[in-house]
């Protein structure tokens, strides 16, 4: 599974991809695995620039999503079965935008 992530401040974010292998989403579809980067969005931009040439496609782990949002059609036994999800910032949190009832 691939997570396309557009959050602007997370340690696991690299060029619109989640680099964390195991991700947890709560009952409301909020990504609870998000880890704010010290220095915020600016530090994230600098880090992405600095390591861009070092990251190879083989370095990107397949994502496994533990999902507490049992009302979603992609949730099977608290595991997301979608082949790809979109995660991004909302007003107060970072959440899954693929969630469908």
Report the C-alpha gap between 5 and 78 in whole angstroms.
20
What per-residue confidence (pLDDT) applies to 60? 62
Section 35-43 average pLDDT: 84
Considering the domain boundaries, does residue 101 fall inside one? Answer: no
pTM of the model as a whole = 0.79
| DSSP structure class, residue 37 | P
Please report which confidence band the pLDDT of residue 14 belongs to, taking 50, 70 and 90 as the band edges.
confident
Considering the domain boundaries, does residue 52 fall inside one? Answer: yes
Q: Give how far the C-alpha of residue 7 lies from the chain's centroid of Cα atoms, to the nearest Å.
A: 8
What per-residue confidence (pLDDT) applies to 58? 60
Q: Domain range spanning residue 31?
A: 2-96
pLDDT at 94 over 90: yes
What per-residue confidence (pLDDT) applies to 80? 95
Report the C-alpha gap between 36 and 6 in whole angstroms.
14
CA terminus-to-terminus distance, the chain:
20
- For 80, list phi and psi in degrees, rounded to 5: -75, 130
Give yes or no for a contact between 31 and 23, defined as CB atoms under 8 angstroms apart: yes
pLDDT at 62 over 80: no
- What is the average pLDDT value for the chain, to the nearest integer? 86
Total domain count for the chain? Answer: 1
pLDDT at 24 over 90: yes
């Amino acid at each position: 599974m691939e997570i396309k992530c557009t959050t602007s401040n997370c340690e696991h974010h690299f060029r619109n991809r989640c680099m964390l292998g195991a991700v947890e989403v709560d009952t409301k579809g909020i990504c609870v695995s998000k880890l704010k980067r010290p220095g915020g969005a600016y530090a994230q931009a600098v880090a992405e620039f600095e390591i861009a040439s070092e990251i190879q496609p083989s370095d990107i782990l397949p994502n496994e999503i533990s999902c507490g949002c049992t009302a979603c059609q992609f949730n099977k036994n608290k595991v997301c079965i979608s082949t790809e999800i979109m995660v991004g910032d909302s007003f107060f949190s970072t959440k899954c935008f693929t969630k469908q009832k």
